[in-house]
Amino acid sequence: MILSKDLVAASSTPLILSILSIEDSYGYAIIQQVHELSDGELKWADGMLYPILHRMEKKGWIESFWGQANTGRKRKYYRLSAQGTSELKQQQEQWQKLSNMISKLEK
Amino acid sequence: MILSKDLVAASSTPLILSILSIEDSYGYAIIQQVHELSDGELKWADGMLYPILHRMEKKGWIESFWGQANTGRKRKYYRLSAQGTSELKQQQEQWQKLSNMISKLEK
DNA sequence: TAAGATTACATAGAACTGCAAGGTATGTCA
DNA sequence: TGACATACCTTGCAGTTCTATGTAATCTTA
């Protein structure tokens, strides 16, 4: 199944917020987490994710800090901010509301 | 609650398809139906809806025909095509899948 | 019966934006 | 040593969206 562009766009933010609500993560890992979570249906390009992360940070939903893998390679981790937590809650509610509207109409 | 732009964009198509799956309708009425269904939270501008309807028709999901209200005023009705029916089903599945992913992550 | 509100549809194009493409760099391992 | 995986970044424009604007018929009410 190919997910519609609109839906992918609309789901990316809540998905990232959700993932970060479980534990801090970094760009490259988030891509893989999404890939697994979706059973391979969502395959984000990295060039698509990083701008989203930057935008979310600018909005104050997430905060970044540099970390180090045990390999020595540096990673830019993100953590959910307080604002991001409330944003996540709101977006989940919105999804729920729209899902209900759409499925309520099902014959 | 202000619905995020992305979500509004992603939901407009399945919403319209859903409404038309119940019964044929026309632009002006669809706006009101969405307004009611959402308990006043979604307030589409007409200038926003008509282009969407045209796009959907171009994609073959809906078909238009001119009708007449009992008042004598002409109306452009839309009906769901076979293609639109299968598109609706797909989009509903996609919504479901993403909703599940997002809510499964909830702590 | 005139003015204002409502119903109803249409479209150009300004304004926005998403993301593909292209770039850099380090670690691993055969 | 070179191929592959890991890891991050940004620009630019192709494509989209919907605001602003226009038209016109019908209804209401004073």
Instruction: Please count the structural domains in chain B.
Output: 1
CB B102 within 8 A of CB A92: yes
Global model pTM greater than 0.95: no
Tell me the mean pLDDT in the region B65-76: 84
- Residue pLDDT, tens place only, A72-103: 788 999 999 999 999 999 888 888 888 888 87
- Beta strand A25-26 with A74-80 is antiparallel
Confirm whether A3 is domain-assigned: no
Confirm whether A7 is domain-assigned: no
Q: Is the ipTM of this complex over 0.95?
A: no
- Residue pLDDT, tens place only, A51-66: 999 999 999 999 999 9
Whole-number Cα distances in Å, B30 to A28, B27, B89:
43, 5, 20
The answer to whether residue A94 neighbours chain B at the CB level (below 8 Å) is: yes
Closest CA to A96 of A32, A19, A14: A14
In the beta sheet, which residues pair with residue B78?
B25, B64
Confirm whether A77 is domain-assigned: yes
Q: Which of A41-45, A63-67, A95-99, B101-105 has the highest mean pLDDT?
A: A63-67
The reply to whether B57 Cβ lies less than 7 angstroms from strand C is: no
Higher pLDDT, A42 or B1: A42
Confirm whether A56 is domain-assigned: yes
Cite the DSSP H helix spans in chain B.
5-22, 27-37, 46-58, 82-104
- CB-CB under 8 Å, B13 with A94: no
Enclosing domain of residue B64: 5-104
- CB-CB under 8 Å, A18 with B10: no
Domain with residue A34: its CATH number is 1.10.10.10
Tell me the mean pLDDT in the region A2-27: 89
- For the stretch A73-107, what's the b/e string if a residue is b when 16 or more beta carbons lie within 10 angstroms of its beta carbon? eebebbebbeebeebbebbbebbebbbebbeebee
The nearest alpha carbon in chain B to A20 belongs to: B105
Confirm whether A1 is domain-assigned: no
Q: CB A5: neighbour CB atoms within 10 A?
A: 10
The answer to whether residue B94 neighbours chain A at the CB level (below 8 Å) is: yes
